[in-house]
């Protein structure tokens, strides 16, 4: 049985959900994939849990937020300083991102790859800013770098590439930001104006207290860059995306196009070598007309027309399950797992 040693950076919603799934799936890993997953380090912004022989995940889950009282908690140590020293096979990056710099995730990923450690990330910033650099570095160092959770969470929008290997993806239309989609759905269904729909989204926990990145289209733009680079083989970054948010949309605009069978949706589009995120009029019978806070990805393919993926684009367990998929994929490609 192969023992795979993991370092987790960021024990927030996604990181904690991942620890729970890793604990739950212990038997499955063993029986089906011939794997023992050992988490030997968990970094937070103010320190880390480090245990060379492996952290007891059940213990971590039991103590919940009190993990800093555990004897192997080391205050003030930083992931960036210890990645090279620890014995790690795969580094899992789940910190929040600075949208301008991609930090701290970008440095973590680069440091891991420089030390020949495979990387899995749910953190998209580093990829929409420095996609090429990361991919090149991974290739140079013979490492895997996977990031399924960065786009539409558990919806397999990136890994589908392998399943369409005999086809060719020509263009992409998608809804990649659940918050904007929720807001426009409410405005369409109830005729409420933008500020009210936003407030509703915040109260339901679908929007952050600072929702700027969601409603101005920047979040979707980042995901679109990753999607297009991965599926269409482009090398763009977020500065290449023409971005228009949804805050100027009024209930009147929505009402005006209703009789023509149109709805307004926050679309992310990759076609003709261009990327854009903007509200568009779409046919109300289009498969892209999904409501609520769902995500949808429509791939226009050469030999099979449109192929559509839809599902929940956010959530701790959703993202964590995508990370597990990436993990299994890496171990299979390395020949550890059947």
Partner 1 sequence: MINLEVKIPDTPGSLIELIRPISKYGGNIYGILHFHDRKLKNMIPVNISFELSEEIQEVSLQNIKKELKEKNIQIENISYGIEKKLITIILTGHVFDTDVMDTIKRLASKNINVLELQAKFTKLEEVSNVKLRIEFPEEMDKKELTNELRKICEEKKLFLITS
Ligand X SMILES: NC(=O)c1ccc[n+]([C@@H]2O[C@H](COP(=O)([O-])OP(=O)(O)OC[C@H]3O[C@@H](n4cnc5c(N)ncnc54)[C@H](OP(=O)(O)O)[C@@H]3O)[C@@H](O)[C@H]2O)c1
For the chain, give the longest Cα–Cα distance. Answer: 66
Cβ atoms within 10 Å, residue 176: 28
Rounded to a whole number of angstroms, the minimum distance from the CB of residue 5 to ligand X is 18
Task: Report the site for ligand X in 137-156 (rule: CB under 6 A).
Answer: 149, 153
**Which is catalytic among the residues 5, 146, 223, 236?**
223
Q: Which does 253 bind (CB under 5 to 8 A by kind): ligand X, partner 1, none?
A: partner 1
> Is 51 an annotated catalytic residue?
no
Q: Which does 64 bind (CB under 5 to 8 A by kind): partner 1, ligand X, none?
A: none
State the number of CA atoms in the 13 A half-sphere of 146 facing the CB.
27
Q: b/e per residue, 250-262, with b = 16+ CB within 10 A?
A: ebeebeeeeeeeb
Length of the chain: 338
Q: Which does 255 bind (CB under 5 to 8 A by kind): partner 1, ligand X, none?
A: partner 1
196 interacts with partner 1 by CB under 8 A: no
248 interacts with partner 1 by CB under 8 A: yes
| Closest to 220 (Cα-Cα) out of 162, 147, 297 | 297
279 interacts with partner 1 by CB under 8 A: yes
Q: Which does 217 bind (CB under 5 to 8 A by kind): ligand X, partner 1, none?
A: none
Rounded to a whole number of angstroms, the minimum distance from the CB of residue 203 to ligand X is 18
Binding mask 32-61 for ligand X (x = CB under 6 A): -----------xxxx---------------
Helix 316-333 / helix 26-33 crossing angle, nearest 10 deg = 30
Alpha helices, H only, the chain: 13-24, 26-33, 57-63, 79-82, 105-114, 125-140, 160-163, 178-190, 194-203, 212-215, 218-232, 251-257, 316-333
82 interacts with ligand X by CB under 6 A: no
State the number of CA atoms in the 13 A half-sphere of 155 facing the CB.
23
95 interacts with ligand X by CB under 6 A: yes
Distance set, CA 154 to CA 55, 88, 300, 321 (Å):
26, 25, 21, 6
The residues assigned a catalytic role are 223
The residues of the shown chain that bind partner 1, judged by CB under 8 A, are 248-250, 252-253, 255-257, 260, 262, 264, 272, 278-282
The residues of the shown chain that bind ligand X, judged by CB under 6 A, are 9-15, 43-46, 79, 94-97, 104, 122-123, 149, 153, 314-316, 319
């Amino acid at each position: 049985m192969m023992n795979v040693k993991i370092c987790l950076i960021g024990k927030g919603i996604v990181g904690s959900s991942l620890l729970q799934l890793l604990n739950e799936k212990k038997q499955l890993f063993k029986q089906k994939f011939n794997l023992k997953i050992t988490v030997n380090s968990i970094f937070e912004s103010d320190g880390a849990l480090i245990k060379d022989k492996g952290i007891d995940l059940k213990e971590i889950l039991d103590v919940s937020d009190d993990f800093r009282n555990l004897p192997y908690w080391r205050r003030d140590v930083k992931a960036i300083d210890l990645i090279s020293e620890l014995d790690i096979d795969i580094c899992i990056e789940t910190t929040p991102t600075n949208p301008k710099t991609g930090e701290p995730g970008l440095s973590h990923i680069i440091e891991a790859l420089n030390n020949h450690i495979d990387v899995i990330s749910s953190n998209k910033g580093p990829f929409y800013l420095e996609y090429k650099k990361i991919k090149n570095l991974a290739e140079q160092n013979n490492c895997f770098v996977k990031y399924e959770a960065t786009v539409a969470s558990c919806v397999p929008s990136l890994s589908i590439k392998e399943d369409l290997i005999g086809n060719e993806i020509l263009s992409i239309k998608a809804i990649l930001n659940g918050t904007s989609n929720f807001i426009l759905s409410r405005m369409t269904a109830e005729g409420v104006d933008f500020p009210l729909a936003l407030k509703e989204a915040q109260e339901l926990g679908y929007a952050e207290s600072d929702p700027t990145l969601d409603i101005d289209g920047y979040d979707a733009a980042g995901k679109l860059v990753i999607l297009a680079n991965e599926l269409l083989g482009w090398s763009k970054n977020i500065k290449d995306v023409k971005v228009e948010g949804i805050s100027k949309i009024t209930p009147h605009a929505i009402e005006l196009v209703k009789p023509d069978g149109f709805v307004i949706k926050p679309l992310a589009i990759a076609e003709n070598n261009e990327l854009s995120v903007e509200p568009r009029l779409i046919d109300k019978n289009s498969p892209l007309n999904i409501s609520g806070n769902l995500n949808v990805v429509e791939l226009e393919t050469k030999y099979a027309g449109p192929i559509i993926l839809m599902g929940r684009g956010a959530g701790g367990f959703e993202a964590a399950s995508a990370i597990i998929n990436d993990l299994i994929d890496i171990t299979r490609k390395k020949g550890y797992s059947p």
